[in-house]
Structure formats: C-alpha cells, structure tokens
C-alpha cells in the first residue's frame, strides 16, 4: 500500500484500524547515503522482509518514496534499521486509541 504524503490518510492508516492489529509503528527513511536510490530502496525492502515487518510507502508529490510507515515493529528492530541506513532519527510510537 502506498500513502501519498499530500493525502490526509496517515491518521486513518494508524487510528482507523478497527481490527486493533496495529500495536506499534515507526516512520523511517530508507535512504542510505552511500547507495544509489534503486540499490538503497531494494536493500531496505529486503531488510524489512527479512525481519517480517509490514510497511506502507510514503511518497512525495512526484511519487518518489520518501519514508516508510512500518507496523508492529519492535523498538530494537527500528533502531537496527535506522542504524544500518545511517538515520539520525526516526519516529516510534504505540497505538493508544481507546477501545
């Protein structure tokens, strides 16, 4: 699933989860500064698959992938991915919508 950054659907993606299956989430860039764009994207997606992490691509106006919204990921796995892809920061949170 792709999420366009210009659409106001991020809130629905996180908090419109009627199934209550989304427990944690993180927003992280897949850009590693010493890889070409296609190599970094492929490598990043492979790492997410290896860790069995579900994700949504967040795109910019020109449909280039800017960030990933990843679901049900541990803080440890998020820190690992961020470190591997030389990210100085990322967002991490818990879905705390009342039942």
Q: Scan for tokens 């500064």, then name that residue.
A: 33
Q: Which CATH number fits domain 2-94: 1.10.3470, 3.30.379, 3.30.70, 3.40.50?
A: 3.30.70
Please calculate the CA angle 65-95-29 and round it to the nearest 5 degrees: 20
Please calculate the CA angle 78-96-75 and round it to the nearest 5 degrees: 15
Contact 55, 68 (CB under 8 A): yes
Contact 54, 71 (CB under 8 A): yes
**Strand arrangement of the beta sheet that strand 91-94 belongs to:** 2-4, 54-59, 65-71, 24-28, 91-94
pTM: predicted TM-score of the whole model, two decimal places: 0.70
For the chain, the structural domain boundaries read: 2-94
pLDDT digits (tens, 9 = 90+) for 27-77: 988 777 666 777 888 888 899 999 999 888 887 777 776 788 998 999 999
């Amino acid at each position: 699933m792709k999420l366009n950054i210009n659409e106001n659907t991020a809130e629905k993606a996180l908090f419109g989860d009627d199934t209550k299956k989304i427990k944690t989430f993180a927003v992280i860039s897949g850009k590693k500064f010493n890889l070409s764009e296609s190599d970094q994207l492929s490598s990043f997606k492979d790492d997410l698959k290896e860790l069995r992490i579900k994700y949504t691509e967040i795109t910019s106006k020109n449909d280039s992938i800017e960030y990933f919204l990843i679901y049900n990921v541990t803080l440890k796995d998020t820190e690992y991915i961020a470190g591997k892809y030389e990210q100085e920061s990322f967002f991490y949170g818990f879905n705390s919508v009342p039942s």
